[in-house]
Structures are given as structure tokens and as C-alpha cells.
Chains A and B, each alone.
Chain A
Amino acid sequence: MRLPCPICGERDRREFTYSGAAVALERPGAEAGSEAWDDYLHNRDNPAGVTRDLWYHEQGCAAWIVMTRNTATHEVLGAALASEARRAGSTS
């Protein structure tokens, strides 16, 4: 599998570290309550299909990237820097 880094271009999957669903960018407030924190930390849509997850280009430019990917086919549909995806409010 090759993954597109918005900065470096298409690179070998081994350069990246996977960090799970992009929901990790939506940290609830300290007072949000146990349900919200449970959803943030543990519960996942875990789709068999298109998902958005976080990858760290550890052996490249060190950017955090939101990949749009199909978990059933391993097709990569898009990539955006996490900082920008977050600003656009489209991380989930």
C-alpha cells in the first residue's frame, strides 16, 4: 500500500505510523462527561468501507495526515493535513 502525503507525495506505507480513526482530533472538553469521553476514546464506527483515519508521516515530513480510505479494498481516496482538516471541521 502506498499513501499520499500532501507534502511529500505518494510514499511507501512503511514510512507512516497509523493512529486510528480521525475522531481522535475531536477531543471533548474536560467536563463533557463519561459518555462523550467513552465515544472519543473507545467507541468507533469501524466501517467496512470508506473511513477517515490518522496517519503520522514519521519517516518523512512528520506531518499528521487524515487519510480517506476504503478499509475493504485498501483504496486511498484522499489525504489532507490534519491541521487543515481540523480547521475545516470535517474530521469525522
Chain B
Amino acid sequence: MSQEQPTLIGARVPKLDAPLKATGSATYGHDVRLPGMLHGRILYSEYPHARVLRVDTARAQALPGVKCVLTAADAPDTRFGYGRDNVPFKNQVVRSLRDEVAGVVAVDPETAEEALRLIEVEYEPLTPVFSPEEALAEGTPLLHPDRGSNLFQTYHYEHGDPQAGERESDVLLEAEYQLPYVSHACLETSVVVAHFDPHGRLTLWSTTQIPFLLQRDLAEALGMDGSQIRIIQTAIGGAFGRGLDIYPFEPIAALMARKAGRPVRLAFTRAEDSIAAPARQPARVRVRAGARRDGRLTFRDVSAVLDIGPYVSWGAVTPLVMMETTASLYKVPHVRFHTDCVYTNNPVTGAMRGYGNPQSTFFIETMMDRLAEAVGMDPVEFRLLNANEPDTVTPQGLVITSCGLKECLQAVAARADRAAGESAAGWGQGTPVSPARDPFHGAPPSRRRRGIGFAATLNVGGGARIYRSDGCGATVKVDDFGHVTLVTGATEIGQGSETVLAQIVAETLGVSLDDVSVENSDTDVKPWDVGVHASRTTFIAGNAACIAARQARDQIFETAAEMLEVKPEELIARQGKVMVRDDPERSIPISKAVRRRHFRQGGRIVIGEGWYDPPTRLVDKATYKGNISAAYGFGAQMAEVEVDLDTGIVRVLRLVCANDVGRAINPMAVEGQIEGGAQMGLGYALTEELLVQEGRVLNPTFADYRLFTAADMPRIETIIVETDDPGGPFGAKGVGEMGGTPTAAAIANAIYDAVGLRLTTLPMTPERVLAALDTHQPKDGE
């Protein structure tokens, strides 16, 4: 019966907040202005490692327009952050050039900035530590002496018998990888506005991704009770993991507001954001892997060292994800994974989209390519042979329910033979290309090589339990006019969660999308949620919204059943009406049923409540095994590249991306996630690197930190694979991070196909490619 078919699920619905954002009427963090608001600025350390001997604020204090100056003396002596190793202002030792030493509150940012220059700080430089190797060496100064070591944490994982795996291998390969610092490069720099009301309750306007954890962490950092903190999330101009922890500027803003007795806004400049906000950890990784002659994988052995900088954030948990790719992408009987997270006096690092997965997928999938070649198999055939399958449990304990890995690989491979020339016109190429505009500067065809490369990806798609709850709450209210309000714990960071959740609720209640609004920005109003990360929102918040909407629907059905004189089970909700399933002519508007329920003696309002915490568990502390996600997403990409043999320029002509998303609730939003992920993956592969020398970021502006711009983008072809996950709302799984995870590997493999070079350092800049070409120039016809 056609009326049973979902109508809004799978609909290409534009994002609900698109008009607001396109017309500039959305209120971002930078737009928040409160009456009497003051401006804060932070003074950072001049040394990567030093003792702070004296901070003299007298001259700054005396500058007209300055309201107050803060130092460590103004902050409670409690540590915060994932590693409990951070404080708002560093009172004894600074451990990086981004360390906060003092702060100024003034009538405008310029005055505050000027006052910073009047603060005198006396330092006693300490020996800095700029590499993990150095940090772990005997006799190196300790960043946090009370911890007894610069080694923050080690992750060691094994399954099977890696040594036996080596013996079973007919081919055994080894490679070392060097992965760079990468910036989130959010369009909106970090910003927060803090205000204490006369009762002493703190409100924070924030772009955080974890409002409830921040509420708790902030309470701890400020010595307050969580109930005294309210977090209001503004429209968020990019997050990508930057907002996945508490960072010092947040308690600092609160301390400033408290001391000044007025609202205080703290907004980073771009350069400040590149330096003081966390970056993706750089890593050095050694990989060994083997296969049998028949193509079956035998073992993987990965050792990585992560430079986490001076303080630990949730980003230090990224090895869990690197481990997951290493242990569970493809069927590998024997795996060993070892990672050391090491303190240094380099920039601070944190979580970033993919959370370790772009890194691990790069080394695992380039290794897969080499193994395929070593056993003489086609790279796609080789991957298909070893691919994960539905309804299996990996040795790591991942319970794989739906799995479209093979379909994704086959889908991108099917596009491999299509000649690139015809379809390669990228966005920047609407007009004919003149020789001067040609990215290859008119290189003769004999000096160019084309190649294609593949890579696949596995990512959590049903939440990821890294905290004791991976849950999300929701309520759905239906008012007398039939208008539906979803209040969800989930956070919108531009990924389109509002739209997708509204679709789920509208579909469940049988109303149109226009009848649904979403409230998701105020901890005083919305129910708890762990935060927006791990591609979890559609799955987790979607399930919670679905539960709440069903409960509201049941309430409506109860009343409608009385009115229509049938049993509730005989009813369906469609087109804003409650209908009798077998006799759709018999119906009443939902609003009418709500009013009937409401306006009577002993009446009730329609409000449904949903809480969804997936049936998963934290990994075992000793073995790191366990099913942390209720579903897993899969994907594959094919990159087609052209390499200029004389300049080392690599141009991606096409990127074909297939993703198993369970079910695409909104295909347009899925495509947006994949394209956006690809943009970040392309940058990771080819252009993006925060250059750090002796702890200093050398390229903190967008002039020198090179993101892919619209004009640089190749054509992105997206293919949606649907596997209808049994646990997801309407069968959906997460897709938020997968768009960018396999990109660097696919491009590296394509470069190999083009010129026979295996590159293991990212980004693969023209200079690096040319240097490699100098050691190996492909022969004609190669």
C-alpha cells in the first residue's frame, strides 16, 4: 500500500538553515553582542618551555579603557582537560608558545591588544623538547614532572599471533610514514561570550561540540557547580573536532566575565586560531604487513608515535580509531598495533574529523596497494577478496551488521574505465583553459602521466562509546495547531543534523517538514547528549528523535482512536492527518486530535520523550577489544590523477566516492558530507600542513596554510550505497567523517599508478613529488 511507504526519507531536502546562512541572518558566535559587553585578549608565552618568574600587569592595568587584567592568581588551582594537565593561566611553567600567561579585559579588542604589550613577563627559559623521540630519550626534561614521564599513554593491541602471521606470509612489506600537523581551519575562528547573571549563574555562548561535557568540565575548572552553568550554542561556523574538549580560553572567558562584572567576549584572530586551537597530531608510523600468494592477508604490525604537544585533549584517544582501521578494515587474522602518545613543547593537538582515521587509512590502504602488487593481483580484486562482510564479528570484537564495502569497491571500480578527459571538468574550469592558466603550464603530453588509485574505509556509523554514555535525549511536542517541536540534545555544526532529524520526526508523525522546528542549542532546554563526534548524530540522535516522535504519535493515536472509533493499532499518520489504515477516507487532522486531548477535563498535552543509548560498550581497558559502535559505515574512493614529471604537480582529475550509509535519509546532505570530507581529504593529501619549527607555527594564515579552494576542487562523483542497517533510524548509518578518510590513500595509489612512486609523507606537495621523481623517473610507456 503506497501510503505505507516513507515519503520524506530519501528526499533531497535542502538544509533547513540554508536560507539563514546564505542571507547572513544566522547568529554565529562572532555575531553575539550583549549590552555592556567587554572584550578579552590573551597574552601567550614567548618561549616554548620556560619558568614564569614574574608577571607585572601594572602598566596594562593603568591603560585607559582596560577594565581588568588577569593572571594565574585569578584562577582556581584546578586542572582540567582529558589529561587533567591544563590550567587557564600557566602560573609556574609555560610548555608551548600557545600557553596562556595573562589576559586583559577592555572596552574594545584594540585596547585589550595594546594592554597585552604592556604586560611584563620575566621568563627563565628551560630546555625545550621538540620531538617525541627526544622527549622519550633518557635525561630529557619532563614537561609535567609530576607525571614522571613524557610518555602520556601507550595503546597496545593484539589479536591472533602476529609472529605466526609473518611466517604464513608469502610477501612481507614494510614502510615508514610521516604525517603532518593539520589545522581544522574553520571559517569561524574560536569564540566565546561569557556572562554571569546577578545570581552568579554563568551563561556561555559557545561554538562547542560538547555542551554537556563542557558544562561539567567548566564547572570543575572554575570550582562551580554544573547547575550554575548554562551553555548556549550559537550557529557554529565550522568545528571538525576543534570544539571536542574544554580548552583554556573557555574558563578564561568565564574568569574574565566574573572579574569584570560584565559580559566578556573572547574571539580569536585567524593567526591565533592556527596557533592556540588544537591541530591534528603529527605521527611517525612504521607499518609491516603481509599476504599469502593467493591474496589473503596474513598480518599487520603498526607502531606509531604521536606528538600530542604540551597538554592532552580527547585527541589523545585517536589511536583507538587508528587501531580500529588497522585491526578491522578487511579480514586480517593477526594484528599488532602499538602507539605511544608523547608530550612535547610543540603546538597543542586535539580531535579532528576522522579522529585518527585519515592517518590510519592512509598507511593501511597504501600498504594494501603494495601488497596487491606484490602478489600480482588487481588492487580492487585484492581488496574484494579480503573485504569485510555483513553479519560478522571482527577479531577486535566489532559487530558488523550491515556492510556494503564490496558494493562500494565495485561501484567506484565500475567508473574506472570512463575516460577522465571527458568528465574531468572541475568546478574551476567552466571556461576554456589558456596555456597560461593550464595548471601544467603547457607541459607536453609526453611529460605527463595519468593514473588511478583506490582506497576503502571503515568508520564507526552507529555512535562510538568513548564515554560512559553514548546517548542522546529528545522530546517531541505537538501543539494545538499541529506544529511539532523537536528538542534534541544533538548539536548542529553545519553537518545538517537539524534537517535530517526534522525529516525523521516529520516522517514518523506524518506531517510535512514545514510543520517541524528543531531546538538544539541551550543546555537549560535540551536533554543530554555526549556531543557531536564520531559520525554519530543521525544514528544516535535520529533514533532518540524517532522514539520521542513515536511516543507523541501514540498519544495522538490514543485520542484519535476514540474520535474515529477504532483501535489505535488501526491508525496511521499521513499528510498531517490520522487515518484509518484500511479506510484512509476516515481521518481527522492531527491538530484536532491534539486539541481534543488537551482541552478537556483531565486533559493532557502531547509530548513524547526519547532517550537512545546504543547497545555497545567501552573497549576493554587491557585488550582494547569490544564493540564500541552499533553499526559501521564503509566506503571506497577512486582517484584519477595527472602528474607533471618536470614540476611534480599532481592534479586530481576526478574523485569517485562510494559510501555505504545504510540508508540516505537525505541524499543531498549525504553528498554534502562526502564532498566536504573530500575537500579536507584532498588538502590532507596534497596541500595542507601546519609547518612547525622549534614549536612555532610558521604558516598561521590562510595565505600560507593552503586549503583547497572551490577553484582547485576536482569533480567529485558521489555514489550512495544503501544496506538498510537494522539498528539505524529508517536504516541509516553515519557518514560524517568518511568522505575524507580514504582520499589521501586513493591519491597516493593513483600517483603510484601514474609514475611508479610510493609516497609516504603527507602532504604530497609538488616539491616532494619532484624530489621523489629525481630518484625514479618513469620510463616511456611505464
Specify whether A and B are partners.
Answer: no
Which residues in A have some Cβ–Cβ distance to B below 8 Å?
A: none
